[in-house]
A and B are shown apart, each in its own frame.
Chain A
Amino acid sequence: MYSMRGWWRGALLVVAGACAVPSAQALDPEALARAVAEDTEARAASDDPVLAGLEADAQATAVDAIGGDPARPHGPTLLERVAGVDGLYAALGGREGIARFIDDTVERSLVDARIAGFFANADIPLLKQRLTDQVCQLAGGPCVYEGADMASAHAGLGIRSAHFNVLVEHLQAAMRAAGVPVGARNRLVALLAPMRPHIVGR
């Protein structure tokens, strides 16, 4: 039987250890990312089919929502894979930079008579946040898009190619104004391109 004193020491050790590990991880984002990835893998590969299924579903839903292919979680194009998606998130200015030019894009769109009507029933601040999450995730950043999939979000709006292109033009203008280099601008448009069939013509 353990004496009360021994039990007390063990508990102190456990508590100290529990406090030490998270703070160490917080100081080291790479280690945190690794730990999260390992945990995800472990859960996905675990014997518990419910857990594994849940994990796969969550991944697929998040990926499907941004119009990507579950086999390519961030939706890189064929050529991105050849060329290597590298540094796009940083080139776009990180989450803060993305939020800035997404804000600018939406503002430009709201005053453009050609497409302003499509935003009539939208919650603009939420839309900006969702778009930022989407672009951040696509560019390889640590975000997760939690909005509706592209087809559902745009169903029944009657968006045509010309409208889609107007938004792309505003996005390009906003990125130019924010100082995003031309290569990053083009690569982002390339990553957004596969979403077009889900958005246009619904």
Chain B
Amino acid sequence: MTGRLPRWLGFALALCAGAPDVAVADPGGKLVGAAGVTQFEGAAGGGLVPWALIGSYATEDEIGAAAFTTALVTGDYRLRATGVLVGFHDRVELSYARQRLTVGAGVTAAVATALARAFGAASPPQGPGAADLDVDVFGAKLRLAGDAVYAQDTWMPQLALGVQHKRHRDFDRGLRLPAVGATGVPALLGAADASGTDVYLAASKLLLGVPAGRNLLLDLNLRASRGNAFGLLGFGRRVVDPASGAPIDRRDDGWRLTVEGSAAIFLDEHWVLGGEWRGQANRLDRQPVLAALGDGRLARERTAWDLFVAWLPSKRIALTAAWVDLGRLPFDGAAAGPYLAAQVAF
């Protein structure tokens, strides 16, 4: 299902797996669970939200890595993400992830039909088929201050500054639609740019033994972004006159601040139960071109959230199962579904 996974990523994973016994035998010095898992954009954290924890189990003298893969299925969309991260001395984290959003054939057929009707073009005999949007996410995170796990005598959380640079590979291609011709989903929905960078400030704190003697991890982030639907639908907003192609509206094109957070309880050393939410900027709402597709509020976003359970049998492996609600995706008013993720630490 990963399809066009970059070849070098496969080699890197094979190299890690075949690394000398010492590296494979011990993923690093942190306590189990103290590295979080990997969120769907590649950074260490929960499932939706990055945390201030630096990824991998490497402590201040060590370098560690982790590889992850996730899959989310909603009614008309599938989201896959696969990636690696490297943690340096529990201070710096670098990550790469390839995301693939598969827009279902039902959605593209509905888009094609609506466009044909709006522009009086011939309705195609069959729909354009499913469309894939591939996005590369390059991430970096720097721990600024604090220790989420051991600073138990102060309210000060662990603080980290992170960036996620996302580049679309199919911004304006991948679909062939009546009246519009070759296009891509983000461009069609009114996104302005095929790439963008998110900047976030994360604060995480592990409260040991607090609710009913269990450990509780709390996280709160502030994110500045130009992304639509987590960047999966491009960046910024551009409304163009379909006839002349001239831009007529650049409102809501700029940066927006959103808030996201997590709460996770460690039931014991190996089981974690948690929830997350992620606010969205909702800049593609009320796109005039979308009215032609029958719904001006097609790409209106709602706050995404999830509930998850993670099993950490050892430092080597983490498995996560969740129910994720991405809010809305075009033509899918309730884009929610099951989510599975696996992470291997080196």
Contact = CB atoms under 8 A, between A and B. Distances in A.
B139 interface: no
Contact of B155 (A78, A166, A189): A78
Contact of A78 (B28, B61, B154): B154
A75 B246 CA distance: 68
A80 B153 CA distance: 9
Nearest to A75: B153
A196 B213 contact: no
Interface in A144-162: 160-162
Given A166-B29, A182-B214, A189 B59 contact: no
A183 B152 contact: no
Contact of B59 (A69, A83, A161, A191): A161
Kindly list the 8 A-B residue pairs having the minimum CB-CB distance in the complex, ordered from nearest: A183-B213, A162-B29, A190-B208, A186-B209, A187-B209, A193-B152, A161-B59, A194-B153
Interface string A40-69: 000000000000000000000000000001
Contact of A183 (B61, B155, B212): B212
Contacts, number: 73
A161 B28 CA distance: 10
B215 interface: yes
Interface string B251-275: 0000000000000000011000000
Nearest to B266: A186
Contact of B29 (A78, A160, A186): A160
Given A161-B29, A189-B208, 6 more contacts: A79-B152, A79-B210, A160-B29, A165-B29, A186-B208, A193-B151
Contact of B153 (A83, A168, A193): A193
Given A161-B90, A162-B61, A182 B155 contact: no
Residue among B29, B149, B155 having the largest count of chain A Cβ atoms under 10 Å: B29
A144 to B, nearest CB: 21
A177 to B, nearest CB: 13
A183 B209 CA distance: 6
A169 interface: yes
Interface string A169-183: 100100000000111
A194 B153 CA distance: 6
A183 B31 contact: no
